[in-house]
Structure 1
Amino acid sequence: MLKDKVALVTGAASGIGRAVALVWAREGARVVVSDINEEQGRETAELVRELGAEALFVRADAGNARDHEELVAQTLRNFGHLDAACNNAGIGGASGPTADYALDAWDAVLRINLSGVFYGCKYQIAAMQQNGGGSIINMASILGAVGFANSVAYTSAKHGVLGLTKAAALEYAAKGIRVNAVGPAFIHTPMISGLEQDAATHAALVAAHPMGRLGQPEEIAELVAWLASDRASFVTGAYYPVDGGYLAR
């Protein structure tokens, strides 16, 4: 499905990002793995190689524009082109009501979860124009479509990711660059590990999903792989929840 394609994923040290890297490798892509966590990021790259695919690890801070620029530059230097990218890096941020939400906490979440996606798109699109097209998948959330109390920064950022995705999709559709967003519900990842430690909180999270369970990173990665492939050639500007029915309530 992705044979001979070069695919880049941020936030790939664990969770959904690592799952995306491994599914892309399984499908034949050469994978660029990026994360601020160098040790675990290199582990992901090694797992990609164990699947028989080429891998490059590049340490990058997703909230830093220059890091994104260099990440894409290293991709082009090593592989010559860029066909697919998944802007997955994100943080949960602080919890609290809007009036009490700390300004530095707001800035931290928006820096990674929204500005970081914009920076990624900016430099990825420039590279994809050189080879006549490509596919970008931005990791949003179910909270890009609905509100969530005590999570004003995260919810705002993910809503912003949907707007960014639609705008970029319109701008570059005629140039062969597709831009879509994926909206996971609560997934078994390190981001929610703290919530799962409390039995009552975990039970409430499970109950919010009609399928009666949380999702697995691989279930998100399979959709990302399809969107990155030519099988999704007429798909752009779309938002795909992967949520066990969460948004159907």
Structure 2
Amino acid sequence: MSQSPHPHGQARTVVITGAGSGIGRATARLLLSQGWNVALAGRTEATLEETARSHPSALVHPADVTDARAMDELFAAAHARFGSVDVLFNNAGIFGPSVPIDELSPEQWDQVCQINLTGAINAARVAFAHFKARGGGRIINNGSISAQVPRVNSVAYTVTKHGIAGLTKALELDGRPYRIRATQVDIGNTASDLLDDFGAHSGALQPSGQRMVEPTFPLEEAAQAIAYIAAVPLGTSINQFTITAGGMPYIGRG
């Protein structure tokens, strides 16, 4: 589905965090191909440049989501370059250690929480203020099917992704008077580096104690889902969207 233009015909603008790899990269490239302006954020400039491929409608802006001031600067840069922002794809996140809770160190918990939860809140806070001032906008939060049902040994990831579910609902509720819409996208097993963190390619641990090589699906198909949500007019809310590899152990996990 192609994006809907502004009334005056100018391209719409999306900010994408974690745009240097994986779903963020695939979504950025797809939206650029559809005529969007895209502000690409991430910690490593080189990978952002690889995503952008010198596209004239791309703004490469290295930024760490855990730094609240950096998120202010990101939106200011996008606004200065493109005039306004219409959509935030709150995508940056890490899986963290694949261990039970008694083997999870406080430092490991803090790192996952800072990136997955505080980082998402930092970006959403700035987006909400921007959208409130301009009369509306859409925030798409990258959750996970672990926001619904956990994997074995994924306590830090699961807890933070359940937090994303609460964030999305709060944004949708508090944004209602301002035409701010929020969507949680729960994605299962795209063919990305994240799968290596829990062994889906080599054999992910299942609740039965067995290991299973799990099905995957292309990043580009997840990107198409996100592009569709981004383009939906603000008169429509899409509160939650789940997309998984066909046949993966999700319904009835393992």
TM-score, length basis structure 1: 0.89
Q: 1:154 to 1:77 in 2, by over 3 A?
A: same
Partner Cα distance (1:15, 1:233) in 2? 30
Counterpart of 2:44 in structure 1 is 37
Counterpart of 1:145 in structure 2 is 148
Amino acid paired to 1:40:
T
Residue 73 of structure 1 and its aligned partner are, at CA, apart by 1.0
Partner Cα distance (1:170, 1:95) in 2? 33
Partner Cα distance (1:17, 1:198) in 2? 20
Query: Do 2:136 and 2:234's aligned partners in 1 also have CA atoms closer than 8 Å?
Result: no
Counterpart of 2:219 in structure 1 is 217
Partner Cα distance (1:45, 1:181) in 2? 25
- 2:207 paired with 1:204: no
Partner Cα distance (1:157, 1:194) in 2? 16
Query: Do 1:81 and 1:128's aligned partners in 2 also have CA atoms closer than 8 Å?
Result: no
Partner Cα distance (1:94, 1:215) in 2? 23
Counterpart of 2:178 in structure 1 is 175
Counterpart of 1:247 in structure 2 is 250
Partner Cα distance (1:31, 1:182) in 2? 19
Secondary structure at the residue paired with 2:14?
strand
- 2:92 paired with 1:84: no
Residue 232 of structure 1 and its aligned partner are, at CA, apart by 6.7
Structure with more helix by fraction: 1
Gaps spanning 5+ residues in structure 2: where? 6-10, 206-210
Give the alignment partner of residue 101 of structure 1, picking from 87, 99, 104. Answer: 104
- 2:114 paired with 1:111: yes
Query: Do 1:134 and 1:178's aligned partners in 2 also have CA atoms closer than 8 Å?
Result: yes
Give the alignment partner of residue 18 of structure 1, picking from 13, 25, 31. Answer: 25
Counterpart of 1:209 in structure 2 is none
Amino acid paired to 2:212:
A
In the alignment of these two chains, the number of paired residues is 238
Amino acid paired to 1:220:
A
Partner Cα distance (1:198, 1:169) in 2? 35
Give the alignment partner of residue 9 of structure 1, picking from 16, 24, 28. Answer: 16
Counterpart of 1:210 in structure 2 is none
Residue 41 of structure 1 and its aligned partner are, at CA, apart by 0.5
Secondary structure at the residue paired with 2:236?
coil
Secondary structure at the residue paired with 2:47?
helix
Partner Cα distance (2:200, 2:179) in 1? 45
Gaps spanning 5+ residues in structure 1: where? 207-212
CA RMSD, aligned part only? 1.9
Query: Do 1:142 and 1:183's aligned partners in 2 also have CA atoms closer than 8 Å?
Result: yes
Secondary structure at the residue paired with 1:75?
helix
Counterpart of 1:70 in structure 2 is 73
Amino acid paired to 1:81:
S
Partner Cα distance (1:146, 1:174) in 2? 32
Residue 168 of structure 1 and its aligned partner are, at CA, apart by 0.7
